[in-house]
Structure 1
Amino acid sequence: MSNLSVSKSNNLIDASYKLNAQAQKLVLACLGKVDSRPNKDVPKEISLTASEFSEMMGIDIKNAHRELYKAADSLFKSSIILRDDREEIELCWIQKKVKKIKGEGAVTLTWSDDVLKYICQLQSRFTTYKLKNIAHLQSSHSIRVYELLMRFNATGERFIYLNDFKSALGISDKYPQYKDLSKRVIKPAIEELNLRSDLIIEFETIKKGRSVVALSFEFRKNTQLKMDI
């Protein structure tokens, strides 16, 4: 499996979006091909073959073509919301529908101008991790939780308000009851990450009165990678 690293702007890490697992892996695989060293131009268009997708993400080559095209279709229909203290803006990931090069089993992706701006800022504020560490994750929530934690990899701790957590996963309008959020999102994601990623994660809830208002994560590297599951 590929040992490529992906660098992702911290603004994109904490942004609000919902992509299925394969569409997230398509974005990450494309970012993995970007040279994030200073003074390197980031291409507006980037191509990815099914064989590259298979190698980077550990996908059976027989299924890689189908998964790549499905991911491309999903990405075209998705947007990303960036927030700061002053405004909230919604952007398209890509400028136009992904070009499928069927004879070659490949796609060509054209970043939108706004998203490209954040990709170009990778050298100033970014989070880097190995693609192989998320390749076996099957849940889109698990991938997003992994990224949220890896932004604080230096400390191994992250505190995040529940509303911000739900927003980052693109589920602000779902699971108003914490017990449902925990059962359907948080616990399954943590269980999968502990099983299939390079992290060992624990978390606890922070309450205000009887209501859960935040999550506190502690995580560390697992030296025994569980990549053959």
Structure 2
Amino acid sequence: MEFIELSRDEISKDMGISAREFAELMGIEPKNAHRDLYRAADRLFDAVITIKEDGKISRLRWVQKSVEKHAGEGAITFVWSDDVVKYISQLQARFTSYKLQNIALLQSSHSIRIYELLMRFKTTGQRTINLDDFKLALGIEDKYPQFQDLNKRVIKPSLDELNVRSDLSVSVDFIKNGRKIAGLAFNFNQSN
């Protein structure tokens, strides 16, 4: 099986990765890499992207069909969905770039998404976001109506994980509108 590395200008719908490449990328033991790769493939099949653009909210699947696992080869191949390829093509110039190894140890999808939200502002080290936009970005717009639950179950655990397992040191202040929390003000530093 041959895996092709593409330039930023090319977006191929078909992608593949071997367990060896996955182990190197994620910094894990090669002996367990095929098992972890197959589990990641299963999660990718179920994952969705929520996009808010021009007042519309869209949910897209990352992959077009089930990820193919190549038993005996320790590799997978998958096909990006048409919608994702189209969206990536349109946004390529606005991508937030970071090294995958900086988030490889993160276990929570909320932590990863917060990392991505913060990295868009890595030059300033500050990010202020409306609470509703924050929840939408994390795909939890219909959950945690009470801020204390959101803070206890999402914000605090995610920031704790980011501070321990990523290259970021993050803190947050809560922005109030009267007695209600209306937004979040993140301050962060990135270690090299």
**What TM-score do the two structures reach when normalised by structure 2?**
0.91
- In structure 1, runs of 5+ residues without a counterpart are 1-29, 224-229
Query: Greater CA radius of gyration, 1 or 2?
Result: 2
CA separation in 2, counterparts of 1:52 and 1:172?
Answer: 35
Partner residue in 2 for 1:85: 54
2:118–2:126 CA contact under 8 A, matched in 1: yes
Q: 2:153 corresponds to which letter in structure 1?
A: R
Alignment of 1:1-150 (within 5 A): 34-36=6-8, 40-121=9-90, 123-150=92-119
Q: 1:184 corresponds to which letter in structure 2?
A: R
- The Cα of 1:179 is off from its aligned counterpart by 1.0
Q: Secondary structure at the match of 1:94?
A: coil
Partner residue in 2 for 1:10: none
- The Cα of 1:161 is off from its aligned counterpart by 1.0
Alpha-carbon distance change, 121 to 220 in structure 1, aligned in 2, over 3 angstroms: same
CA separation in 2, counterparts of 1:88 and 1:175?
Answer: 19
Residue from 137, 147, 152 that aligns with 1:178: 147
CA separation in 2, counterparts of 1:90 and 1:123?
Answer: 19
Partner residue in 2 for 1:211: 180
Q: Which stretch shows the higher mean deviation, 92-101 or 72-81?
A: 72-81
Alpha-carbon distance change, 142 to 109 in structure 1, aligned in 2, over 3 angstroms: same
- The Cα of 1:63 is off from its aligned counterpart by 2.3
Q: Secondary structure at the match of 1:83?
A: strand
2:50–2:139 CA contact under 8 A, matched in 1: no
CA separation in 1, counterparts of 2:55 and 2:179?
Answer: 31
- In structure 2, runs of 5+ residues without a counterpart are none
Q: 1:172 corresponds to which letter in structure 2?
A: E
CA separation in 1, counterparts of 2:44 and 2:59?
Answer: 14
CA separation in 1, counterparts of 2:65 and 2:27?
Answer: 27
Structure with greater contact order relative to length (CA < 8 Å, sep ≥ 6): 1
Percent of paired sites with the same residue:
57
CA separation in 1, counterparts of 2:66 and 2:17?
Answer: 15
Listed one character per residue, the Cα deviations across residues 50-109 of structure 1 (whole Å, up to 9, x for unaligned) are: 111111112222322122112212222232221212422222211111111112111101
Q: 1:105 corresponds to which letter in structure 2?
A: G
**What TM-score do the two structures reach when normalised by structure 1?**
0.77
CA separation in 1, counterparts of 2:181 and 2:92?
Answer: 36
- The Cα of 1:34 is off from its aligned counterpart by 4.4
Alpha-carbon distance change, 190 to 86 in structure 1, aligned in 2, over 3 angstroms: closer
